[in-house]
């Protein structure tokens, strides 16, 4: 058994694999095994994997005809021998000391998960428009360092990607049976299920994972298609799966119920800018019904449009900044007429530390 297993799903990435695999085999921490899962590739991915596996016995190569990153990860997890799991996308790479630093972070601090900063790397042929739309540097940045209890607020403020984390084997195996096949945002579901079983987290304030942004990647296709994304409505299924998982454990606590509602809210926010008005109403009705019938909770989602002004210059904030807040809950948000603006809404909108507060006639529904 190794100390750390690194799971690498591989689909049509023959061009990028050498850099990824060399970053893993060249780690300063040697007690690792690497499970690479080739899933339905039509290029030379499998050939590259076998070449590197023949040169390093720590690499295990698995194959499947199912072109699913989630399925590949699950296969890798079941075949891995490590006490802890890490994940790497085949077109990304680790810093040389990432495994060593992350292993020390989770073991020496006795936490259930450790999380590091991500460095965005841009392909030369990535257009300026794609860079602009996908340049979510703040999302991948760790704003804390050290050990913290993993309460609901911290769960929701930690980015959901798996590749900048190290996780305990026993907790991963505990959630794996409840990790059903989904089409989009599989990282979100994995993180939320894991977080329900974790108590603490350690943040490593270093850019150890290198996320390569290139045209035509999976995430590029998801983010760039907007209302044309055929899977946009499926995102809510993630919250449904989380809720079913919590209910399966029996008698959810108030904290667990609140977290489920927060997850619905977060995912509704993610897709709100992709939805037409009739789809927004449909999603809200669906969420309301499911939460009421299954969790007997008093959350109520509804679509709302709002005019939000920056009080410093009395100008409207850019439409793209606030339109994704169209879906809200009575549980967490007051109506935007005659009531204060929530802390979370302020946090999300004030990316440049602008200060917004409610003032009669400044914020209102239309």
Domains and CATH numbers, the chain: 4-224 (3.90.550.10), 228-365 (no CATH)
With 70 as the cut, is the pLDDT of residue 307 above it? Answer: no
* Mean pLDDT for the stretch of residues 242-247: 95
The per-residue pLDDT for 276 is 79
Of the listed ranges 132-146, 201-215, 266-280, 336-350, the one predicted with least confidence: 336-350
The per-residue pLDDT for 22 is 98
The per-residue pLDDT for 136 is 59
The per-residue pLDDT for 217 is 57
With 90 as the cut, is the pLDDT of residue 218 above it? Answer: no
* Mean pLDDT for the stretch of residues 261-266: 87
* Mean pLDDT for the stretch of residues 245-251: 92
Contact call for residues 159 and 186 (beta carbons, < 8 A)? no
Contact call for residues 92 and 210 (beta carbons, < 8 A)? yes
With 80 as the cut, is the pLDDT of residue 282 above it? Answer: yes
Return d(Cα 270, Cα 274) in angstroms, integer.
Answer: 8
Of the listed ranges 104-113, 227-236, 316-325, the one predicted with least confidence: 316-325
> How long is the chain?
366
Angle between helices 277-290 and 254-272 (to 10 degrees): 170
DSSP 293: I
The per-residue pLDDT for 292 is 85
SS3 337: coil
With 90 as the cut, is the pLDDT of residue 165 above it? Answer: yes
Q: How far is CA 110 from the centre of its chain?
A: 23
Between 74 and 184, the more confident residue is 74
For 188-221, b/e burial (b = at least 16 CB within 10 A) is bbbbbbbbbbbebbbbbebbbbbbbbbeebebbe
The per-residue pLDDT for 14 is 96
| Most confident region among 103-107, 153-157, 259-263 by mean pLDDT | 103-107
* Mean pLDDT for the stretch of residues 196-223: 81
Note the helical H segments in the chain: 17-25, 45-55, 69-79, 98-108, 128-134, 137-140, 152-157, 169-175, 186-195, 218-224, 236-249, 254-272, 277-290, 319-322, 343-349
DSSP 340: P
The per-residue pLDDT for 118 is 94
The per-residue pLDDT for 258 is 87
Contact call for residues 304 and 296 (beta carbons, < 8 A)? no
Residue indicated by tokens 């630093």: 101
Which residues, other chains included, contact 208 with Cβ-Cβ below 8 Å and sequence gap of 6+?
A: 94, 95, 97, 98, 101, 102, 116, 117, 164
The per-residue pLDDT for 143 is 76
pTM (predicted TM-score): 0.81
* Mean pLDDT for the stretch of residues 36-58: 96
Mean pLDDT of the chain: 80
| Phi/psi at 128 (5° precision) | -65, -35
Q: What is the pLDDT of residues 104-116, one digit of tens each?
A: 999 999 999 999 9
The per-residue pLDDT for 191 is 97
Element (H, E) at 168: strand 165-168
| Phi/psi at 148 (5° precision) | -140, 155
Q: Name the nearest CA neighbour of 154 among 211, 208, 192.
A: 192
CB atoms within 10 A of CB 87: 24
The per-residue pLDDT for 192 is 96
**251 Ramachandran zone, left/alpha/beta (phi>0; psi -120 to 50):** left
With 90 as the cut, is the pLDDT of residue 32 above it? Answer: yes
């Amino acid at each position: 058994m190794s100390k750390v297993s690194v799971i690498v799903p591989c689909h049509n990435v023959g061009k990028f694999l050498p850099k990824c695999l060399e970053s893993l085999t060249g780690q300063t921490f040697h007690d690792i095994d690497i499970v690479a899962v080739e899933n339905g590739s039509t290029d030379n991915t499998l050939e590259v994997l076998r070449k590197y596996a023949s040169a390093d016995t720590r690499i295990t190569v698995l194959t499947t005809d199912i072109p699913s990153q989630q399925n590949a990860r699950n296969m890798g997890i079941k075949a891995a021998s490590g006490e802890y799991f890490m994940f790497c996308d085949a077109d990304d790479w680790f810093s040389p000391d990432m495994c060593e630093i992350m292993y020390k972070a989770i073991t020496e601090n006795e936490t259930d998960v450790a999380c590091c900063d991500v460095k965005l790397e841009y392909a030369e042929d990535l257009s300026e428009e794609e860079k602009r739309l996908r340049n979510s540097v703040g999302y991948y940045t760790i704003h804390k360092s050290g050990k913290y209890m993993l309460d609901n607020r911290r769960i929701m403020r930690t980015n959901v990607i798996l590749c900048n984390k190290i996780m305990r084997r026993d907790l991963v195996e505990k959630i794996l049976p409840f990790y059903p096949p989904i089409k989009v945002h599989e990282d979100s579901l994995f993180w939320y299920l894991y977080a329900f079983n974790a108590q603490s987290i350690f943040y490593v304030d270093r850019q150890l994972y290198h996320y390569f942004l290139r045209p035509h990647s999976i995430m590029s296709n998801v983010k760039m298609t907007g209302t044309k994304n055929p899977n946009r409505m499926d995102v809510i299924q993630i919250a449904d799966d989380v809720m079913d998982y919590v209910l399966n454990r029996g008698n959810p606590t108030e904290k667990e119920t609140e977290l489920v509602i927060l997850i619905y809210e977060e995912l509704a926010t993610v897709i709100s800018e992709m939805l037409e008005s009739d789809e927004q109403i449909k999603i809200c009705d669906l969420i309301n019904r499911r939460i009421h019938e299954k969790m007997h909770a008093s959350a109520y989602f509804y679509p709302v449009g709002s005019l939000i002004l920056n009080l410093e210059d009395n100008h409207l904030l850019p439409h793209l900044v606030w339109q994704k807040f169209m879906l809200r809950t009575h549980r967490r948000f007051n109506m935007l007429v005659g009531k204060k603006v929530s802390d979370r809404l302020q946090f999300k909108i004030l990316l440049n530390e602008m200060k917004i507060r409610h003032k009669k006639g400044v914020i209102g529904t239309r």
